[in-house]
Structures are given as C-alpha cells and as structure tokens.
C-alpha cells in the first residue's frame, strides 16, 4: 500500500545527504572524542566543526552551543538551571507548552517555587499584556518559558517582544524552539533570550541529538553529572555521528529554507482551502492565516461516529497524521492544547504536518479520503 506521511511535526525522514555525512563516523572515524590519539582527535574535530557550523547558522558563539540528546533534555536542563543556579522562584509558562516543558515546571512547582500560567487570546496566542502584568507583580525573580511555535496548532510567539519584557523585569527567558530551529532564521546575538533548544529529527536529521543554546552571560551547573564532556556542561560520551548529522541537516535546511518554506506553506494553505470546499463544518485551530508555523495544519472535524475513528481509519488507508480532541474516551485523555483553547466536545482535531518531500497529489488523495471517511 502507498503510504502518505503527514506527521512531520512528530519526526521527519533522514535526508540521504545527512546519512552520507554521518556514515564515516559510524565506521572508520569511531574514536572516543575524549581520547588523545589520532582516532579521538578525528572525532573531536568532527564535533567542534559541527559546533562552529551550528553556531554560525544560529548567530551564536560556538561556546554557547551544547549538544544534548534532544529537545526534552535541553528544556529540562535550562528550566532546572533557572531554579537551582539562577535564583528564579517564579515560573511563568503557558497551558499549551510541550509536555517536556509543562511536566518539568509542574514537577518544580512547590513551596519555594511559584507557577503561573499566562492567559491565552482566543486564537491561542500568548496575551503579552497579561505576561507583563505577571512579571510586573512578581515579588520573586521570574523564569519565563514559552515555546516559539506550538507543535500542535502552529502559533508563533514574538520572541523579540517576550525577550524585551523579560529584560525589562530582569527575568530569565527560555524558549522551546524545537519546531522552528531548521525552519526559521535565527540571530541569537540580537535576540534577548537566555536558552533555546533544538532537535535534529525535526528537520531531516537523526533522532537522539539536540542542542541547548546557553547565552554566554549565563553561568549554570551541569544537569547530568559525570565526565567533562561538552566543556563540563553535559556528561556522557558524545553522540558523535548524531552531532555531525545535526549540523549537516541544519546546513541543508538553511541553504534551502526559502524554497522549502514556500513549497510547504503552499501545500498547507492548499489543503486548508480544499478541506473547506469538500467537508461541511470543518474549522482550523490556531492562527492559521496569521502568525503561524508553516509546517502545521490543525483541523477540527464535526464529531460523528465516523470522525471519532478518523485517525484509525486514516492509518488503515496508509495516511499518517496525529491528533487528539478536547474530550476523548479511554486511556487517551486527548490534547491538552485543544482542551485549553476550545474544550468543544463536538469537534475531532487532527494535525497534518508537512515537509519538503510532500506533494499536492498527496494532499488531493488525503482530502478525497477524508471526504469519503467523513
């Protein structure tokens, strides 16, 4: 059966050129980067060249880039450090963050750490006036942790505006940028942010490797204890070929960003228009035609016996998508993001997310199948 993959916000297929760059480090250049002999020096050079490449692309210094196992570890490191090392006693976040952030801030919330959730506007964007109010009225030093682009509905945060507010109130700013590194241009030297994160598998790189950017003016202790890897910041033998693959994938994504972003956004908007024409009562979650991530389309279908089994039936027909409604039965509690926005039990939400490899023909096939199923 032909399969159509429309779940690129979850993960993307590895680019063959990235695999090609990784292969030598899986075979002949296998040395431990901490070793002083030639094999080790070759590996160390591969990592440091990757670091320089990533830093240059993101507008950072190489010393501000740390390689991790992915976005979850990076966010955990930054959020924990803000509390334990930087003196933050008030966390300000949103109810629609990725669970890597949400579960971390809930875990840290207690007698000594206050947790506040910023209000959301009806379209799902963060209410910046409420954020300023929370910062202005905080008796303690604050950590603001807000994602750059929501992984479910695609809403984009104005990082510059949030960063300026944090600067004004002497707050620490961490942004989960997992959905946007590799998809948008960054200039970290001119962005008032203390921590950002990235994950290679979101832009056709390997799984199990990510980055944590730590602004050079921030001094924290390691989250993972052990050896002196990553300049004493992240213990454990480095994921050598993963790091090389991350840098190569980011290079490719950046070189072709304009072309790929136009192609992907055209597909997304084409699918949105086709769905409106083909299926009565369809609607979209998030700020689709405003400040929105170009890879994500979150669709609400009217609830019925047919639509309740929609993801299952799409899978049977070889179509990969993801979702979660505000209210679902069984073990799946549904999407906390959709629940925070609408909590409408009469809608079934499905996320379609696209990559450079998707085509208009695939969109036509998926829309035709949705029409048939619903």
Distance, in Å, from the CA atom of 264 to the CA atom of 356, rounded to the nearest integer, reads 6
Beta strands in the chain (DSSP E): 4-5, 65-68, 90-93, 114-117, 142-145, 172-175, 195-199, 210-214, 283-284, 296-302, 319-320, 322-323, 347-353
Answering whether pTM is above 0.85, one says yes
Could you tell me how many residues make up the chain? 374
Structural domains present in the chain? 4-12+257-373 (3.90.1150.10), 16-255 (3.40.640.10)
Contact 58, 181 (CB under 8 A): yes
pLDDT score for 194: 98
Q: What residues contact 218, with CB distance under 8 A and at least 6 apart? A: 86, 172, 194, 195
Q: Are 179 and 295 in contact (CB under 8 A)?
A: yes
Place of tokens 């008796």: 139
| DSSP conformational letter for 151 | T
pLDDT of residue 330: 40
Residue 190 DSSP SS3: helix
Residues with a catalytic annotation lie at: 327
pLDDT of residue 329: 39
Q: Cβ(249)–Cβ(18) under 8 Å?
A: yes
CA distance 72 to 314: 29
**DSSP assigned state of 360:** H
d(CA 128, CA 141): 18
Q: How far is CA 262 from CA 44, 177, 293, 351, in A?
A: 37, 20, 12, 20
Cβ proximity of 277 and 58 under 8 Å: no
Nearest to 201 by CA among 265, 152, 249: 249
pLDDT tens, position by position, for the chain (374 residues)?
A: 899 999 999 999 999 999 999 999 999 999 999 999 999 999 999 999 999 999 999 999 999 999 999 999 999 999 999 999 999 999 999 999 999 999 999 999 999 999 999 999 999 999 999 999 999 999 999 999 999 999 999 999 999 999 999 999 999 999 999 999 999 999 999 999 999 999 999 999 999 999 999 999 999 999 999 999 999 999 999 999 999 999 999 999 999 999 999 999 999 999 999 999 999 999 999 999 999 999 999 999 988 887 778 999 999 999 999 985 443 434 456 789 998 987 677 789 999 999 999 999 999 999 999 999 98
């Amino acid at each position: 059966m032909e399969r159509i993959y429309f779940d690129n916000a979850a993960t993307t297929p590895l680019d063959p050129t990235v695999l090609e760059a990784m292969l030598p480090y899986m075979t002949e250049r296998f040395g431990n980067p901490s070793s002083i002999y030639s094999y080790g020096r070759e590996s160390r050079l591969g990592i440091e060249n990757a670091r320089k490449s990533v830093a240059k692309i993101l507008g950072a210094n190489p010393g501000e880039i740390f390689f991790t196992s992915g976005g979850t570890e990076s966010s955990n490191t930054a959020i924990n450090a803000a509390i334990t090392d930087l003196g933050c006693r008030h966390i300000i976040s949103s109810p629609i963050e990725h669970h890597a952030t949400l579960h971390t801030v809930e875990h840290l919330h207690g007698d000594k750490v206050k947790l506040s959730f910023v209000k959301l506007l009806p379209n799902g964007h963060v209410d910046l006036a409420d954020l300023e109010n929370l910062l202005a009225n905080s008796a303690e030093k604050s950590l603001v942790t807000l994602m750059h682009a929501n992984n479910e509905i695609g809403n984009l945060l104005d990082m510059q505006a949030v960063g300026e507010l944090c600067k004004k109130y002497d707050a620490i700013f961490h942004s989960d940028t997992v959905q946007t590194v590799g998809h948008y241009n960054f200039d970290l030297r001119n962005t008032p942010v203390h921590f950002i994160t990235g994950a290679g598998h979101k832009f056709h790189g390997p799984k199990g490797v990510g980055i944590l950017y730590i602004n050079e003016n921030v001094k924290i202790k390691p989250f993972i204890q052990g050896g002196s890897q990553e300049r004493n910041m992240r213990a454990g033998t480095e994921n050598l070929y993963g790091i090389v693959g991350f840098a190569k994938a980011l290079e490719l994504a950046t070189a072709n960003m304009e072309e790929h972003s136009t192609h992907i956004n055209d597909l997304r908007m084409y699918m949105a228009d086709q769905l409106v024409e083909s299926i009565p009562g369809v609607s979209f979650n998030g700020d689709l035609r405003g400040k929105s991530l170009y890879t994500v389309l979150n669709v609400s279908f009217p609830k019925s016996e047919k639509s309740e089994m929609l993801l299952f039936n799409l899978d049977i027909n070889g179509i990969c998508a993801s979702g979660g409604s505000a209210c679902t039965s069984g073990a799946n509690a549904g999407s906390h993001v959709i629940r925070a926005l609408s909590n409408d039990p009469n809608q079934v939400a499905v996320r379609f997310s696209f990559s450079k490899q998707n085509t208009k023909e695939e969109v036509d096939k998926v829309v035709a199948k949705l029409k048939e199923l619903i």
